[in-house]
Amino acid sequence: MSRTGRLVVIGGGVIGTAAAYYAARRGWQVTVIERSKIGGGCSHGNCGYVSPSHVLPLAGPGVLWPTLKTMFYRNSPFKLRFRLDPALFSWLLNFAGRCNEQDQLQSAQAIHTMLQAARKLYDDLILDEQLQCEWETRGILFVNRSAQGLRHADHVAHLLKDEFGVNASRYEGEAVQQLEPALLPGNAGAWLYECDAHLRPDRLMSQWQTAIVRQGVRIEEQTNFLGFKEYKQKINGVQTDRGDYPADAIVIATGAWTPQLQSLLGCRVPIQPGKGYSITMNRPQNCPVLPMIFEDHRVAITPFQSGYRIGSTMEFAGYDETLNPERLELLRDGAKLYLHDPLGAELQEEWWGWRPMTYDSVPIIGPVPDRKNVFLASGHSMLGVSLATSSGKLISELISDEVPHIDPEPYAVTRF
């Protein structure tokens, strides 16, 4: 028999929303506690990719020194703002230790398993709930300006096919522009991963919120989580600045903020906030049909039905809440190198958000040691939207004492 009861989910981003959705479907009485508003954090302004192609972790052979060097460059897509932070140094050392083939493939297998499950679950979710979130299954085009970049993309494509069965189609020279006429000429080549899809994340969140409310989920926005309630050495609820909430199980889905709860959780959660940026505008006159990633410059493009977004970059600046105009200019400059019409005429939003980065790029999903009814669902790095459905289903299975649809061991917090 599946276990049910009262569930409190801390965090109303895409992962917390997914956890609430799948738990409510299993009969749990769910309350979501959100410090701001549902979907207002990193779930809001990302590029909206649901991408089974994004198998490989950041750490891998040959990655360490080029990445660390460019992090200190002023105009690098990857930037590290130096500060005296033992947690950051520890994260970087552990990241460095995983820059080898064995660890890369180990992380990739865990990511691949979740991505494959998530992609299928999105089809079911959007059909079952009739979500109007601008869902499209055109794939993602990885474009390389340089011959050297294309050679690396060739290596990655063959690795993904041989090790994980992820297929893609290769285009070279003028064939790239024929496939996507919005591109300027002069690109060395590109790979189209037809398995990928995209959606508009703010529309996903508003539609999904409606769906969980329809299921009976209670949402408490503008509510700060303060701690756990305990009775006879057992956690039986949560404390907030707007009152207490009883709970038989608790899911912590607080993204990049999760390390700030380590003392309450009683375990180490090695997540660093990696700030990403995006610019949203109306669709340019010559708008791309395909979502694209310009690999050589780390810039991503998403053509929504209702708009157009340029995103990416990675800035390790701690919990800095400022919007850096130089990072936004990098996005604009990168798009100008590849597109006839890189910018829409009407600016809709300039945005930043903290990605919850683990050093192995694998999310943290499962029970907290010594806290039998507290569960973590965090650390999804740059794949929060991509992994939301499989993460939500997995955590709902674990709290319900069901046999999970994927092996949860690779995602346990005890691996650190």
Distance CA 341, CA 176 (A): 17
Q: How many CB atoms lie within 10 A of CB 34?
A: 25
Q: So what's the pLDDT on residue 70?
A: 67
Q: So what's the pLDDT on residue 233?
A: 77
pLDDT single digits (tens) 197-229: 999 999 999 999 999 999 999 999 999 999 999
Q: So what's the pLDDT on residue 163?
A: 97
Q: So what's the pLDDT on residue 78?
A: 80
Q: By the 8 A CB rule, do 369 and 267 touch?
A: yes
Low-confidence spans in the chain with pLDDT less than 70: 1, 68-74
Q: What is the pTM of this model?
A: 0.96
Q: So what's the pLDDT on residue 84?
A: 86
Name the CA dihedral angle for 55, 75, 277, 286, rounded to a multiple of 10 degrees: -90
Q: So what's the pLDDT on residue 74?
A: 66
